[in-house]
Structure 1
Amino acid sequence: MRFVTYASADGARAGVVNGDLIHALPKGTTLLELLGRSLRQAGERALAAPDEVVPVADVTLKAPIPRPPSLRDCLCFLDHMRGCLRAAGGTGTLDPTWYRIPAFYFANPATVLGPYDDVPISPGSAWFDFELEIGTVIGVAGRDLTPEQAEGHIAGYTLFCDWSAPCCLLEHLDLGDLAAFRGWLKDGDVVSLRAEGLGEVRQTVRAGAAPHPLAARPDPTARPRRPRVNPARSALPYTKGLHQVGDGVWECRAIDTADGSIPDSARRKPLRKSKETS
């Protein structure tokens, strides 16, 4: 069962996808308040007796939960962490702790965007990057759970496109191997991501405003700063940097055309589907 939040004349509405149609839940109902044991029952009622029925193609989809109360980003894709270390001038060798502890950090829920919203480049960023991730939506509270117990607390899954500006995060470091990150994005690039059962994300990267200058505090030992210019070229079509969750599941491409169309050189050959993902 696939739940969505979409824009309507009455504001944001929640509903259940049924083929090419959305069966709406009652006005004022949000997916956030239904998380838990009542979500499936509410979806079944909407399929049987919808408040309204609208074509998916006629509405603008928003993030399923536009403002989650909490957002954690787990650092579990170790190939990406190795790339981060190489980009910062290291060897890419991870400390043994990374193999023992599933690290995470708290992200900002106010920065969540919809699947077709433009993505502003962080002010002053010359290196803009993204990671395709799976968002796990927790529906039932819990703590100190085993992996088997935790699975019962999951309400569902969604695509999660994590945008970042590594040069802002690592400004205190000299970036080393720029090729460690593939496919730097720039203004006008379109990133389209699709996963079976989870839908599609298609977002356009837009240049951000220049950062406001701040008076620097005196540092008698400071060295002259190098201009922040990224000499690395975008790798098109974008095919690297994503881990594979299952055969034939992920699709990712960056499109470098003025009208956002897909050039022949960027078209991906169909991937074989496994029994688990078909």
Structure 2
Amino acid sequence: MKWVSYDAGDGVRTGVIDGESVRGLAAGTTLEALLESGNLAEAGEDARRAPAEVRGLAEVTLLAPLRRPQSVRDGVGFLEHLRNCYRVLGRDGALDPAWSHSPAFYFANRDAIVGPYEDVPVAPGSAMFDLELEVGAVLGRGGRDLHPDRAEEHIAGYTLFNDWTARDHQLVDLAQGIGQAKGKDCAITLGPALVTVDELEPYRRDGRLAITLSATVNGEELTRGSLDQMDWTFGELLAYASRGTDLLPGAVIGSGTVPRGCLLEHVDTPALADFTGWLRPGDVVSLCGEGLGETRQTVTEGTGVLPLRPAGVVR
């Protein structure tokens, strides 16, 4: 099933896509609540058999399927993405052995979720705005200390995931050394649908989802890759993330960026600020995934920055 959240002009509803229509559930039903209750499959059958309403896809606005997930973690499943970024930043591209010991992740801003066709303002004050091509796995069943060979059984489905990034702010985050902050705070795209695991089985090869993924900027392809090339699998990401803590239904974890799936990896000048390819207002960014659909968003002007005083200076 392909679960969506949508608005047809009379409030946000939840439903499943059926061809060129959406079969909606009763008003007030949310995908977050269905995942939390464990009733996703049953609700899907209800939507197919006796929907509260049926709308044409052309009549509705698709929103992020999960508008406020239980939590959002973003992993680093593709190590080649990291090597490429290191080279641009003047490192030799070799990774510290720590990257092969466990899959890294950071906590992302679940309050910054945007839908697959919503405009995205440039992060305030950023001159180095970027996209990241990813897939998000959504938990349908919680767990703790999950086994890496069985953790994927807890996944309800997958969605496209764009981890919008202000690279200049990220450089400040890195200098401060306590983790991702304002560089990753402005927006995360989810959508257009939460596609259930069974729907994607035709793409499984040797136990992995071999989904072709691509990203374009203004119609020009930036990269193309496959989800089955992850160095750390979703099962391993979930197992590591669940060590000593509870993962709850509705939690989202990102795959990490498909190699060359962000502008940073395409920088061709020694000075990042001199790169002319950063996103600007009016640019159109699209992500596409086999079986997952396509996002299409326009970058818009960001707000100004209110200055802070230097630390230690009394006003």
TM bucket by the smaller chain? 0.7 to 0.9
Higher helix content, 1 or 2: 2
Counterparts of 1:180-259 in structure 2 under 5 Å?
Answer: 183-217=277-311
Secondary structure of the residue aligned to 2:294 is strand
Shift of 1:182: 9.5
Counterparts of 1:258-277 in structure 2 under 5 Å?
Answer: none
Secondary structure of the residue aligned to 1:105 is strand
* Residue 20 (structure 2) aligns with: 20
* Residue 2 (structure 2) aligns with: 2
Distance of 2:311 and 2:24 partners within structure 1: 55
* Residue 155 (structure 1) aligns with: 156
Deviates more, 1:105-114 or 1:145-154: 145-154
Distance of 2:139 and 2:84 partners within structure 1: 29
Distance of 2:124 and 2:160 partners within structure 1: 25
Secondary structure of the residue aligned to 1:65 is coil
Deviations 1:11-69 (A, max 9, x none): 11000000000000121111111116421111111111111000111111000010112
Deviations 1:60-117 (A, max 9, x none): 1000010112110112221221233233332222111112211100011000000011
Distance of 2:47 and 2:174 partners within structure 1: 53
* Residue 200 (structure 2) aligns with: none
Distance of 2:173 and 2:120 partners within structure 1: 25
Tell me the percent identity. 54
Give the conservation status (yes or no) of the 8 Å contact 1:7–1:60.
Answer: yes
RMSD: 2.4
Give the conservation status (yes or no) of the 8 Å contact 1:22–1:54.
Answer: yes
Give the conservation status (yes or no) of the 8 Å contact 2:8–2:59.
Answer: no
Deviations 1:229-260 (A, max 9, x none): xxxxxxxxxxxxxxxxxxxxxxxxxxxxxxxx
Structure 1 pair 8–121 and aligned structure 2 pair: CA distance change class (3 A):
same
Counterparts of 1:67-82 in structure 2 under 5 Å?
Answer: 67-82=68-83
* Residue 275 (structure 1) aligns with: none
Deviates more, 1:120-129 or 1:28-37: 28-37
Q: Structure 2: 5+ residue runs without aligned partners?
A: 176-268
Shift of 1:8: 3.1
Give the conservation status (yes or no) of the 8 Å contact 1:88–1:173.
Answer: no
Give the conservation status (yes or no) of the 8 Å contact 1:86–1:177.
Answer: no
TM-score of the aligned structures, taking structure 1 as reference length:
0.73
The structure with the larger Rg is: 1
* Residue 101 (structure 1) aligns with: 102
Distance of 1:52 and 1:123 partners within structure 2: 40
Give the conservation status (yes or no) of the 8 Å contact 1:89–1:177.
Answer: no
* Residue 142 (structure 1) aligns with: 143
Shift of 1:118: 0.7
Higher strand content, 1 or 2: 2
Distance of 2:34 and 2:154 partners within structure 1: 14
Shift of 1:183: 4.2
Deviates more, 1:153-162 or 1:79-88: 79-88
Secondary structure of the residue aligned to 1:35 is helix
Structure 1 pair 149–173 and aligned structure 2 pair: CA distance change class (3 A):
closer
Structure 1 pair 176–144 and aligned structure 2 pair: CA distance change class (3 A):
farther
Distance of 1:110 and 1:172 partners within structure 2: 19
Aligned length in residues: 219
Distance of 1:155 and 1:194 partners within structure 2: 20
AA of the residue aligned to 2:28? G
Shift of 1:147: 2.2
